[in-house]
Amino acid sequence: MTKLNTFEQAVATYEPVLGLETHIELDTKTKMFCGCATTFGAEPNTQVCPVCLALPGALPVANRAAVEATIKIGLALNCTIASWTRFARKNYFYPDMPKNFQTSQYEEPLCEDGYVDVVVDGEVHRVEIERVHLEEDTGKTLHVGGTTGRIHGATESLVDYNRAGIPLVEIVTRPVPGTGALAPEVARAYTAELRDIVRSLGVSDVRMEQGSLRCDVNLSLNRPGEEWGTRTETKNVNSLRSVERAVRYEVRRQSALLDAGERIFQETRHFHEATGETSPGRSKEEATDYRYFPEPDLAVMEPSREWVEELRASLPELPRKRRERLQAEWSLGDKDMQSVVNADAVELIEATVAAGTTPSGAVKWWLGELSRRANESGEELAALAITPAQVAELQGMVDDGRLNDKLARQVIDGVLAGEGSPADVAAKRGLEVVSDTGALEAAVDEAIAANPAVADKIRGGTHAAAGVLIGAVMKATKGQADAGTVRQIILDKLS
């Protein structure tokens, strides 16, 4: 295989063009076209009926709540809502579709022509939305006989249709040129913004790790001034970090092929979480022949303008507005707020503040120590094994003088290691600031006795010399003393 270019080499020669397709599972109580429940984690094949199994004679009826949720998403993405729209059958044979077609939308999507603005490196990038349409999810397939449950090498598969028919919204961007070296960050920022918008609407829990938000990343490269290149489509990229890595990898891989005079094939690729690489998936040659046709079993939809305006009026505060409000409430500068957004920490900090700590305390931990830990372990901040309530508790202990920052970092070690709440960890590991003044006074006395010359200096009025004694006391107490208290005791004794 061709050696990869570095990302920097690649973007020095080629311009990436991005495209993103996102699937969002709505959290309606029932499926898209039948009354089956949509409870996550139910026993296999217990939430299926003649409609979602497509038994002969069964007739689908569209779920009003799913249509409303999709219109809301379209409105929040600045789309035009169709005044005439219908479903279509996308015909293909695959065991995860019991009907042998997926009910989707083709030429007449519910919403079209919108945009999302994302800020990367202080610059606004407008990502244009081509369409937002409504379709249904497929079943879940368990691959047996291969390695680690993958479809490759499997000898047979087991299918659970509980998920088949759950409403799925597909959001497709127009190609996004002009992002250059920022392409990975723009892709990530767009996905994060989309997730936050949909979450604010309350129509999906948009959990990437549970598959309720799934991302396909399209990418092509071209030399400046030349036509856009052939794109690849990387499937099922399931975290924000993976979106960024998938773009980065494809830029590096494609540029190396182009440098070697080879051509890029239009193909589906799979992203591998462990290595950050992509590999070819099934060939698209035959699969594109979906023979779409209008779904005759479902009535045409004509969303009235009154209905659309009613839904528009019901939209909650959207993330961009909310961020502006929070930035003011937290008294953060633009740069700091941008760091919070980039670290995906808005909700975490909001929840931490809500749990009873100051904004500056919450920002300090999430952007400082905890971001560092997340980077080290290659995790998302939200995936760390510490909750906003625990961070608030930790900062509360610092505010009360029970912990100093050094001890607090050790407490974080314990919380992340699953040893319990900050108070539990502090108790178990003996990590409390020594507030017993008797013990502190004894330590100060010892320090004075060991450093008579320094003590004389302080007696003579050179208070700055107290640092030496404070250091000695901190050492003696293994860092578990509050420096301010120690200083006060020293000065009291030597004045």
Partner 1 sequence: MSTISREEVAHLARLARLEVTDDELDAFAGQLDVILQSMKTLAEVDTDGVQPTSHAVPLVNVFREDQPQPSLPRDAVLAGGPDTAEDRFRVPRILDEEA
**Would you call 272 helix, strand, or coil by DSSP?**
strand
Site string for partner 1, 299-318 (x = CB under 8 A): xxxxx---------------
Minimum distance from CB of 135 to partner 1 (Å)?
16
What pairing do the DSSP bridges indicate for beta strands 232-237 and 268-272? parallel
- Closer CB to partner 1, 156 or 376, in the complex: 156
Asked whether position 65 contacts partner 1 by CB under 8 A, the answer is yes
Distance (Å, whole) CA 140 – CA 135 = 16
**Who contacts 171 (Cβ-Cβ below 8 Å, separation ≥6)?**
21, 22, 23, 24, 73, 77, 129, 131, 132, 194
Distance (Å, whole) CA 2 – CA 97 = 37
Of the candidate residues 17, 24, 36, 197, the single one contacting partner 1 (CB under 8 A): 36
**Who contacts 94 (Cβ-Cβ below 8 Å, separation ≥6)?**
138
- Closer CB to partner 1, 108 or 446, in the complex: 108
Please state at what angle helix 334-342 crosses helix 359-367, rounded to 10 degrees.
50
CA dihedral sign of residues 428, 429, 430, 431: negative
Q: H or E stretch including 412?
A: helix 405-416
Counting residues that bind partner 1 (by CB under 8 A) gives 55
Asked whether position 34 contacts partner 1 by CB under 8 A, the answer is yes
Minimum distance from CB of 354 to partner 1 (Å)?
30
Of the candidate residues 8, 227, 285, 289, the single one contacting partner 1 (CB under 8 A): 289
Of the candidate residues 8, 155, 261, 376, the single one contacting partner 1 (CB under 8 A): 155
Instruction: For 217, list phi and psi in degrees, rounded to 5.
Output: -110, 120
Of the candidate residues 86, 99, 253, 269, the single one contacting partner 1 (CB under 8 A): 86
Asked whether position 159 contacts partner 1 by CB under 8 A, the answer is yes
Site string for partner 1, 104-143 (x = CB under 8 A): -------------------------------------xxx
Distance (Å, whole) CA 163 – CA 159 = 10
286, amino acid identity: E
Q: H or E stretch including 119?
A: strand 111-120
Asked whether position 472 contacts partner 1 by CB under 8 A, the answer is no
Asked whether position 160 contacts partner 1 by CB under 8 A, the answer is yes
Name the one range near partner 1 by CB under 8 A: 5-13, 178-186, 292-300, 369-377.
Answer: 292-300
Which residues contact partner 1 by CB under 8 A? 28-30, 34-37, 43-50, 53, 55, 61-67, 86, 91, 93-95, 141-143, 151-152, 154-161, 282, 286, 289, 291, 293-294, 296, 298-303
